[in-house]
Amino acid sequence: MQIEGLVAVITGGGSGLGEATARALHAGGAKVAILDLARSKGAEIADELGENAAFCEADVTSEEQVSAALDAAIDGFGALGAAINCAGIGSAGRTVGRDGAPFDLGIFRRTIEINLIGTFNVIRLAASRMVENDPNADGERGVILNTASVAAFEGQIGQCAYSASKGGVVGMTLPIARDLSRAGIRVMTIAPGLFETPMLMGLPEPAREALGRSIPFPPRLGRPTEFASLACEIVKNPMLNGEVIRLDGAIRMQPK
């Protein structure tokens, strides 16, 4: 799909990978709706971008809030062409802790609720609007992009909940692409390695450098603009569908 004039909703657009993607799409001429929590910087970023950018407050786990945000984006900008899922949370803890306590089921549920069910909630609600679009010259009515993680494949010690949530995103990519193929809606997922975002910037500099050096090439953390660049290519390239692309500098995570 052409980025110029595209209407795109970006969840988690108030920070990190989502913010970079919203900025890149906006710079390419798209109209961007940043869907994020009230406490995020989403409103500030939309204000800074100015024309053709809006903040739509919503929690991705809420049917009501996501529906309202999508409808606000469509009312303000026109038919929805792209839904980019970047909202997510991390969580850590062993299945059985050193103290013998079992992993907190509430944390496990919350991680799945936001990263997996929240992603699916946005997909289903966005797709149900996209099916109404007039197809473009390639027959496309929309594109959906999700964010998993290399932890979907090589979860480390302490990542049981996070890996399960991202493994779910990887697992549903192909069946949803197949479901939506009749409508001309593509579905793709990026599985990032280690990126320089607030999620990782909270670590001390030596720890970040050590993480960066663990990447074969380039031996540094990924830049959010590099994620955004792949996101833009996925939006543009009609042959990319039903696939998960690792974006990780060849890192393969070790147990710890």
In 3-state terms, what secondary structure has residue 144? strand
- Per-residue contact flags (x/-) with ligand NAD for residues 106 to 125, judged by CB under 6 A: --------x---x-------
Nearest-angstrom CA–CA distance, 245 and 170: 10
Output the CA torsion 245→82→67→39 (10° steps): 70
Give Cβ neighbours of residue 89 (< 8 Å, ≥ 6 apart): 110, 111, 114, 115
Nearest-angstrom CA–CA distance, 63 and 67: 6
**Which among 36-44, 102-110, 127-135, 176-184 is the span making contact with ligand NAD, rule CB under 6 A?**
36-44
Give Cβ neighbours of residue 124 (< 8 Å, ≥ 6 apart): none
What is the arrangement of strands in the sheet containing 53-57, beginning at the earlier edge strand? Answer: 53-57, 31-36, 7-11, 82-85, 142-147, 185-192, 244-247
In 3-state terms, what secondary structure has residue 7? strand
| Closest distance to ligand NAD from the beta carbon of 104 (Å) | 18
Per CB under 6 A, the list member of 21, 40, 159, 173 interacting with ligand NAD is 40
Answer yes or no whether residue 87 interacts with ligand NAD by CB under 6 A.
yes
| Closest distance to ligand NAD from the beta carbon of 118 (Å) | 6
Catalytic residues: 162
Per CB under 6 A, the list member of 6, 84, 143, 194 interacting with ligand NAD is 194
- Per-residue contact flags (x/-) with ligand NAD for residues 133 to 162, judged by CB under 6 A: --------------x-x-------------
| Closest distance to ligand NAD from the beta carbon of 40 (Å) | 4
Sites for ligand NAD among residues 207-246 (CB under 6 A): none
**Which among 23-31, 101-109, 190-198, 235-243 is the span making contact with ligand NAD, rule CB under 6 A?**
190-198
Answer yes or no whether residue 127 interacts with ligand NAD by CB under 6 A.
no
State the CB neighbour count (10 A cutoff) for residue 164.
17
- Per-residue contact flags (x/-) with ligand NAD for residues 57 to 76, judged by CB under 6 A: --xxx---------------
- List helix spans (H) across 190-239: 198-201, 205-213, 224-236
Tokens representing 18 are: 């989502």
Q: Can you give the binding site for ligand NAD, defined by CB under 6 A?
A: 11-12, 14-18, 36-37, 40, 59-61, 86-89, 114, 118, 147, 149, 192, 194-195, 197-200
